[in-house]
């Protein structure tokens, strides 16, 4: 029974991480990036880049909006499509709640809870995670296994692992932290546009962008650098190209951002990962987001995990 439980935990942990629902702690020291910029949180308005910002500061804004730090809390649900080179596709539906804390007193950054409702073999599986402000500090993560009526703690793994043939690595899925890389501004150019794998539409054609080279601080990592397109007016990351140690383009990640009705905030709405080596694709489509819905911190507890039903 113990071995079976361990296999279940590993299986679902890989799913959660690949969807960006569980963060990964790197087992290497992080040297802080050089920026004194402090961005306010939970203002209800999107943080924006300002004229004269350094490249490090632009990237700090990029990560700030990536983690939705401008809201107090939100609820969302979406669909994950895992598509093989031959066109075979698997889908999963998830529901997510997050509260932004940014509380130095106990080091808490934010708390997440995510539940799968489809397909049947993952229905009811829920993950609760607490993320901390201190760089390099592990998350606390609990997994609810409904078939066993048990809660299990999840340990952290390396960030370069993939899962179940998916196109995400653990690190990519959690939108790595700002201090994990060094940043160099390559220039400015208009983005040529990206045709969506999901719907065939072309996004961001001729959009003015900063082009930034991001290099991992960890030596001998799975990528040598990534070329990042940041929309100039927002600092939204809209496109990444990943290069291996021999300089070959191995993967691309496209992100479409959308204003959320009823708020002044925007959020990632469509994410598409293309593995240029295998021909596999992973697509995450957000179906609905509601900001500042009154979530309370006491919702994000082990007791809530056990009450979750689908």
Tokens encoding 81:
């499509």
Beta strands in the chain (DSSP E): 73-83, 89-103, 108-118, 126-132, 140-145, 150-153, 181-191, 194-195, 202-203, 207-216, 225-231, 237-243, 249-259, 266-275, 281-291
Report the predicted TM-score, pTM, of the whole model to 2 decimal places: 0.80
The CB density around residue 80, as the number of other CB atoms within 10 Å, is 21
Look at residue 9 and give its three-state secondary structure. Answer: helix
Place of tokens 């799975």: 222
Cα 240 to chain center, whole Å? 13
> pLDDT tens digits for 97-121?
999 999 999 999 999 888 888 888 8
Mean pLDDT of the chain: 83
In this prediction, residue 56 carries a pLDDT of 95
Q: What percent of the chain has pLDDT over 90?
A: 49
Nearest in space to 237 (alpha carbons), one of 222, 223, 256 = 256
Residue 165 pLDDT grade (very low, low, confident, very high; cuts 50, 70, 90): very low
Tokens encoding 133:
């402000």
Higher pLDDT among residues 46 and 161, named by residue: 46
Place of tokens 């390396």: 158
In this prediction, residue 112 carries a pLDDT of 86
Is residue 217 within 8 Å of residue 31, measured between CB atoms? yes
Q: Is the dihedral of CA 174, 217, 101, 73 positive or negative?
A: negative
Assess whether the previous peptide bond of 119 is cis (omega < 30° from 0): yes
In this prediction, residue 192 carries a pLDDT of 98
DSSP for residue 88? -
Backbone conformation region of residue 274, classed left if phi is above 0, alpha if psi is from -120 to 50, else beta = beta
Q: What is the CATH number of the domain that holds 255?
A: 2.50.20.10
H and E: helices and strands count for the chain: 4, 15
Structural domain that includes position 263? 2-307
pLDDT at residue 16 greater than cutoff 70: no
292-304 burial, b at 16+ Cβ within 10 Å, e below that, comes to beebeeeebeeee
Domain count, the chain: 1
The CB density around residue 171, as the number of other CB atoms within 10 Å, is 23
Task: Kindly calculate the radius of gyration of the chain based on its CA atoms and give it in whole angstroms.
Answer: 19
**249-259 and 266-275 beta bridge pairing:** antiparallel
């Amino acid at each position: 029974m113990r071995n079976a439980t361990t296999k279940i935990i590993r299986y679902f942990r890989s799913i959660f991480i690949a969807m960006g629902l569980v963060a990964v702690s790197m087992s290497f020291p992080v040297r802080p990036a050089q920026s004194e910029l402090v961005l306010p949180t939970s203002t209800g308005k999107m943080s924006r880049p300002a004229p004269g910002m350094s490249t490090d500061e632009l990237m700090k804004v990029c990560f700030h909006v990536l983690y939705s730090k401008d809201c107090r809390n939100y609820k969302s649900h979406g669909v994950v499509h895992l598509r093989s080179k031959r066109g075979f596709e698997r889908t999963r539906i998830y529901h997510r709640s997050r509260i932004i804390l940014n509380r130095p007193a106990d080091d808490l950054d934010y708390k997440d809870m995510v539940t799968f409702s489809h397909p049947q073999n993952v229905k009811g599986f829920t993950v609760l995670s607490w993320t901390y402000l201190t760089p390099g500090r592990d998350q606390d993560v609990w997994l609810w296994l409904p078939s066993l009526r048990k809660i299990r703690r999840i340990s952290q793994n390396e960030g370069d692992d993939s899962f179940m043939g998916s196109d995400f690595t653990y690190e990519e899925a959690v939108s790595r932290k700002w201090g994990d890389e060094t940043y160099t501004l390559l220039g400015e150019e208009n983005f040529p546009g990206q045709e969506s794998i999901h719907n065939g539409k072309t996004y961001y054609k001729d959009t003015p962008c900063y082009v930034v080279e991001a290099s991992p601080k960890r030596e001998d990592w799975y990528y040598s650098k990534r070329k990042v397109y940041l929309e100039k007016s927002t600092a939204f990351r809209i496109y990444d190209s990943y290069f291996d140690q021999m300089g070959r383009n191995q993967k691309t990640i496209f992100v479409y951002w959308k204003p959320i009705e009823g708020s002044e905030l925007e959020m990632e709405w469509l994410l598409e990962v293309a593995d240029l080596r295998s021909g596999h694709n992973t697509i995450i489509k957000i179906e609905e987001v509601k900001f500042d819905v009154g979530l309370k911190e006491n919702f994000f507890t082990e007791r809530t995990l056990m009450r979750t039903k689908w």
